[in-house]
Amino acid sequence: MRFARWRVRRHPAGSRFGAIRRAVSCGAVALALTGAVAALAPAAQAASASGPTAPAAAPARIEGFARYVGQNNCDPVAKPGTTALAEMVLAYYGTGRDGGISRDCSIGERSEHKEGRAWDWMVNVADPVERATAEEFLAWLTAKGPDGKAAYNARRLGVMYLIWNQRIWLASRADRGWLPYDGSSPHTDHIHVSLSWSGAMKQTSWWTGVRANVNKRHP
């Protein structure tokens, strides 16, 4: 099936795209505020978090940090890496529900859901069990690895950015931690995970054992 090429020319103040761009450009300001970034980090970040086991051993050198590459086409079919991530998280944590991957291109604003490379995990910040589980997952994704760098598991999975509870974590700004997010949805009832194209296509070392280029464009 062929989908029409899709581009956005305007980004309203409350749009996700606009909020991501503001987070990228304003991250340095957050760092300048004493304790600002630390205060935004999930509570579980300081604890030792467990998580799923990769089906493939890590190579000596894993992926770098994925740059932000927003939706540029209309192709909402769920991609294999996005589907595999959703299935893995739901099976391992056994909490919350699947909020879906695909979104029709005629609905809402610019989103990687419309390219099949974003997933929503429905967990609610108001539920203590779901919140604790959600933050354990986020801490596991963004924790340092054997290479001494942050976000070891996120890098191996090709995660591009995460949104949860009015905060956003961008792989391209991993050194800045969790930043304020002011998009139209506060994401208090779900975690949004957006993947790079390599992550979405299940080509990263988490699945293959081989380091992938997480900054390539649409395949």
CA distances from 119 to 46, 90, 191 (A): 25, 12, 8
Structural domain includes residue 31: yes
**The total number of structural domains that make up the chain:** 1
pTM summary value: 0.82
For residue 119, what are the domain limits? Answer: 16-208
Structural domain includes residue 5: no
- pLDDT over threshold 80, residue 42: no
- Joined together, the tokens standing for residue 217 give 């464009």
Structural domain includes residue 128: yes
Tens digit of each residue's pLDDT (9 = 90 or more) over 150-193: 999 999 999 999 999 999 999 999 999 999 999 989 999 999 99
Mean pLDDT of the chain: 84
Coil, strand or helix at 19: helix
